[in-house]
Structure formats: structure tokens, C-alpha cells
Amino acid sequence: MKINRLKYSIAKRPLKLISMSVSMQRHAKKKYSEQTRYRIVKKCMETIFKTGKVSIKVTGLENTENQEKFIILSNHQGKADMLAIINSLNRPISVLIDKAVCTNPFLNSCLNCLNAKKIDKKDPKSAIKLFEEMEREVIEENRSFVIFPEGQHQNNQNHLQEFYTGCLGFIYNTKAPIIPVCLYDTYKVYEVRDTKPVSCEVHYLKPIYYDEYKDLRKKELAELVKQRIQDKLDELDNAH
């Protein structure tokens, strides 16, 4: 019977994963710069993908260049999504993630090193404070974040789900460029029980600048981003 690729990777190099987890937890301390912490996480994610025999095709990285900061809005297919983005991006990025899924010690080491924002969907007041914190960090510290507006993945594979708007409000005040990201076949990494070599794709689409989205309602912004990702998915489906 085929086993899960994640379990396969852990079984293949357990001591290495423990070592990486300890390293990320140690570097999560504030005395280390964001660049240093991100470099440690990226090295760990590269090792995980290499051990799991995962390769990535990346396009559109030029859309992230010469940007002081940006917000990535990406489709969501599975556990490998953030790993694929980190593996493909050479500049620091953090993520907004559901606190309920942060139960794995290794995952938490990674998230703490990234200074990720863990949202408690059951506590609206704390969520508001979290978005205010993200807004401040984008404006004052030029931090960049990944947000998955679909919120969760439900065996959707290369099909889009509903884009929720609650996570978009704070972006307007930051005036940061929004970069839609189209993930393709990332669900095959951990949602499919197989250990054969697998490839996935990360496509950074053209930025949506503040002047383009400032007068849009949140629902309109969500639909704009969703349509751009859908257009890319359609293009990739036709090409494959």
C-alpha cells in the first residue's frame, strides 16, 4: 500500500527533521533578523522537498522584484502550499494561518521562525487585533504576507473554492501591492498517497496595485483575484 509522502520523508530522515525543528525554534527568537530566520526556514523546506522527491516549476518571480512589500493572495490545495511558496521565493515572507491546524511541533517551529500570524476563527475580537498587527507590520516594517482567502482545502485539487473577504479589509490601509499566486498540482505532494517523484507549480501573477483596488469593495477585490487565478488555472489545464 502506498504511504503518505510526508510520513515517508519523516521516516527517511527523522534525525535531520528533529535537528531542523530545533534550529528553527532557536532562530525564532527576536535577536535574529527576519532575513536570517527566513533563510533557515527556506533551507529546511528545500531539504523536505528534496527528501520527498518534490520538484517545483516557478514563473513570474519578476512580479515580486522591486517591491518593498506585498500581500500574496493564493489558492489553497493542501499542506504543501506554503512550503512550495517558500521554496520558490528568495525574500522573507510570512503567512496568516488558522490556529486550529497548528498542532504539529515541527510546523510550529517553522511558523514561529516566520513570525506567522495564527488566527483564532472562533474569537472575532482577537482576529481584529491580529489584522491590526499585520497592518502595522506591513506599513512600518515592510513585511510581506501570504493569505489563502479560501481558508482551507477540501480535496479541491486544481479547482477553486469560495474566496472569503474577512481577511482582506486590512490590506486597503497598507496600500501594498497584491500579488495573486496560482498554485498548480501542489495537492499531489501530500494529499495523494505516493512516494514517486512529483512536480508542482507556483505562478506569481501580475501585481494589483493600490490605485487599481482602492475603490473596490472587498467582495469585488476577492472576485478580481479569484478570476486572475482561475484564468491561469484554465491556461495550465489547456497546456497539460
pLDDT at residue number 105: 84
Does residue 122 carry a pLDDT above 90? no
Q: Is 156 helix (H, G, I), strand (E, B) or coil?
A: coil
173 band by pLDDT with thresholds 50, 70 and 90: very high
User: Average pLDDT of 169-193?
Assistant: 96
User: Average pLDDT of 2-20?
Assistant: 81
Q: Are strands 198-204 and 178-184 parallel, antiparallel or unpaired?
A: antiparallel
pLDDT at residue number 31: 82
The CA distances from residue 56 to 78, 132, 150, 186, in Å, are 15, 34, 22, 9
Does residue 179 carry a pLDDT above 50? yes
| φ, ψ (nearest 5 deg) of residue 59 | -135, 160
205 band by pLDDT with thresholds 50, 70 and 90: very high
Q: How many angstroms separate the CA atoms of 157 and 137, rounded?
A: 32
pLDDT at residue number 5: 83
CATH topology of domain 5-239: Glycerol-3-phosphate (1)-acyltransferase (3.40.1130)
User: Average pLDDT of 163-185?
Assistant: 97
Q: How many angstroms separate the CA atoms of 197 and 94, rounded?
A: 28
DSSP 19-75: HHHHHHHHHTSTTS-HHHHHHHHHHHHHHHHHHTTEEEEEE-GGGGTT-S--EEEE-
* Higher-scoring residue by pLDDT: 121, 213: 213
User: Average pLDDT of 211-219?
Assistant: 98
pLDDT at residue number 171: 98
Share of the chain above pLDDT 70, in %: 100
Considering the chain, what is the average pLDDT of its residues? 93
Residues 6+ apart with CB under 8 A from 6: 52, 79, 190
E strand or H helix at 8: helix 5-12
Share of the chain above pLDDT 90, in %: 75
The 10s digit of each residue's pLDDT in 27-67 is 988 789 999 999 999 999 999 999 999 999 999 999 999 99
20 band by pLDDT with thresholds 50, 70 and 90: confident
pLDDT at residue number 1: 47
User: Average pLDDT of 155-162?
Assistant: 94
pLDDT at residue number 106: 85
